[in-house]
Amino acid sequence: MAMKSSHSGSVHHKERLVLGWREWASLPDLGVERIKAKIDTGARTSALHAVDPVLVTRDGQEYVRFRLHPVQRKSKPELLCEALLVDSRRVVSSGGHIEDRFVIVTRMRLGEREMPVEITLTNRALMGFRMLIGRTSICKKFLVDPGRSFLLSS
């Protein structure tokens, strides 16, 4: 007699790609071809390095314009990015600091999968990664293997 698994948490694994604890991502709407990102299941929302974010109004809508240095520990290249402002919220960082951040939604590509993601903008110059991918961006789409890196890189 065949035994059935009683573990209900293993549903739909075949449709979920496995990520390492860090991956290469791209943000096509912001002109970012590759950015090294840390997968952080302890963080709810994703965060992106943004220098001098400012609000600009165009056609009655608010946008955030900011400079982005996509390469860790380097100020070049520098990209000038702009995205529609979707929210502004108070965020408590992993260090316990409270910060008001602009929130945007943009397309993110991980491997062959592309999806819209909500991202808060903050200066991550002193952090190890210029992008942090939080759990709401990847839940129900990916599984994370914390012992491996760059599983989706080509």
Residue 14: pLDDT band (50, 70, 90) is low
Percent of the chain scored above 90 by pLDDT? 68
Who has greater pLDDT, 53 or 42?
A: 53
Question: Dmax over Cα atoms in the chain, in whole Å?
Answer: 67
How much is the average pLDDT of 84-88? 96
State the chain's mean pLDDT as an integer. 87
Please tell me the predicted confidence (pLDDT) of residue 9: 41
Return the beta strands (E) in 71-140 as ranges.
79-92, 98-110, 113-122, 131-134
Please tell me the predicted confidence (pLDDT) of residue 63: 97
pTM value? 0.85
DSSP state, residue 15: G
Superfamily classification of domain 15-143: Acid Proteases (2.40.70.10)
Domain range annotation of the chain: 15-143
